[in-house]
Structure 1
Amino acid sequence: MTTPFIGEIQVFGFNFAPRGWAFCSGSLVPIQQYSAVFSLLGVNYGGNGTTNFQLPNFTNRAGCNQGQGPGLTRRTIGETFGENSETLTVAEMPAHMHQFTIYNQSDAAKKAASPSAGNSLTSPTNTSVFVSGAQANTQFIPTMIGFTGGNQPHENRQPYLALNYCIAMAGAFPAFG
């Protein structure tokens, strides 16, 4: 392997950081011990900038290029954004209705145990348990089907594979070009 640039980030498929590298897990490191790395990263990822600075944190995160693509929000180096889960509110869902219609097939010849054209799959013998005095093919009131869910967040991440992102703490100082 060639000599890495200080501050270079690599992905490794094993469970340890190689010699001269550190995990990109948001660790606070002392400026005095890693002044070359600090001169490149500064406090873009955190730290107080006087005695320590923070390494990038890829734990539960995906990388994103800095800048702005067409129609996208501008992103700056070190910025974190996004959510691991999302709880949708009624205001965030598109407006829609849930209607429910019951059909009562009174012709016994058209009643069947499996779906087929013109036949009923089920046959309520007494529609009064649904709606008192209902006529055949009557739509139920709109409030019959109400809100559902437990106001719990759902998973909001793309599929991923756990790997170790590491940053070179030693190596060649990159030249500005």
Structure 2
Amino acid sequence: MSEPFIGEIRMFAGNFAPKNWAFCDGQLLAVSSNEALFSLLGTNYGGDGRSSFGLPEMRGRLPMHMGQGSGLSNRTLGAGPGFERVTLSLDQMPNHSHGLVASRGEADASTPAGRVLASQTDGDMPYTPTPADPVDIEDMDSRSLSPTGDALSHNNMMPYLGVNFIISLLGVYPSRN
């Protein structure tokens, strides 16, 4: 295998960082001990730039090329937007409807199972504002038309496989041209 560039990131299936490599876990390194790497990364991933600088934080993140592609939003070097869990607002929910359950059969109980609408034996509409013969009127099941759900967040992650990302601390200093 060829010698890596300083700052080169690779995926590694092991549970350790090989010699001269470090995990991309956002850790801070001393500038004085890693001047070449600092000259490439700067403070894009954290640190104060005087005594420390940060390595990229790849835990729970997907790598994405920086910049702005056609029709896409800008991706800034070192930025890590996005959330593992999100709560949708009403404005974000797609347009949808909830069905009203009814039966064409004749009603056979004043409190039918599931509290569904049914035809009446006298041919009247299922709903009469003031019935001629008052009976006990049951409310529809509250799940039929009322809002449903909670304002809880939901998981927003695609399927994934945990693999370590490592960054080369030593190697060939990359030419800028």
Taking structure 1 as reference, are residues 16 and 138 closer, same or farther at Cα in structure 2, changes over 3 Å only? farther
1:151 deviation in Å? Answer: 1.7
In the other structure, the counterpart of 2:18 is: 18
Give 1:134 shift: 6.5
Alpha carbons 1:101, 1:138 under 8 Å: kept: no
| Contact 1:3-1:171 within 8 A present in 2 as well | yes
SS class of match (2:105): coil
State the distance in 1 between where 2:70 and 2:163 align: 30
Structure 2: gaps of 5 or more residues:
128-139
SS in 2 for 1:157: coil
Q: Cα deviation per residue 1:110-131 (whole Å; 9 max; x = unaligned)?
A: xxxxxxxxxxxxxx62155537
Gaps of 5+ in 1: 107-123
- Compared CA separation, residues 46 and 125, structure 1 to 2 (3 A): same
C-alpha distance after superposition, 1:85-113 (max 9, x if no partner):
1111222112333131311424xxxxxxx
Alignment size in residue pairs: 160
- CA offsets, 1:55-87, max 9 Å, x none? 001000000001111110011211111111111
User: Contact 1:23–1:164 at 8 Å: present in 2 too?
Assistant: yes
Identity of aligned residues (%): 38
TM-score under structure 2 length normalisation? 0.80
SS of residue paired to 1:103: strand
Counterpart contact for 1:5–1:170, Cα < 8 Å? yes
Asked if structure 2 preserves the Cα contact closer than 8 Å seen for 1:102 and 1:138, the reply is no
* Deviation of the 1:149 alpha carbon: 2.0
Conservation of the 8 A alpha-carbon contact between 2:103 and 2:116: no
Contact kept? 2:101, 2:144, Cα under 8 Å: no
Distance 2:102 2:145 in 1: 13
State the TM-score, normalizing by the size of structure 1: 0.80
Q: Tell me how far 1:30 sits from its aligned partner.
A: 0.6
Does 2:151 align with 1:168? no
Q: Does 1:152 align with 2:152?
A: yes
After superposing on structure 2, the runs of 4+ consecutive aligned residues of structure 1 that deviate more than 6 Å are: 131-134
Q: Structure 1 residue 176: deviation in Å?
A: 1.2
Aligned pairs for 1:63-82 within 5 A: 63-82=63-82
1:27-77 residue CA offsets vs partner (Å, 9 max, x unmatched): 011100101100000001111111100000100000000111111001121
Q: Which amino acid aligns with 1:167?
A: I
1:98 corresponding residue in structure 2: 98
Question: In structure 2, do the counterparts of structure 1 residues 170 and 88 end up closer, same or farther at CA, with 3 Å as the change threshold?
Answer: same
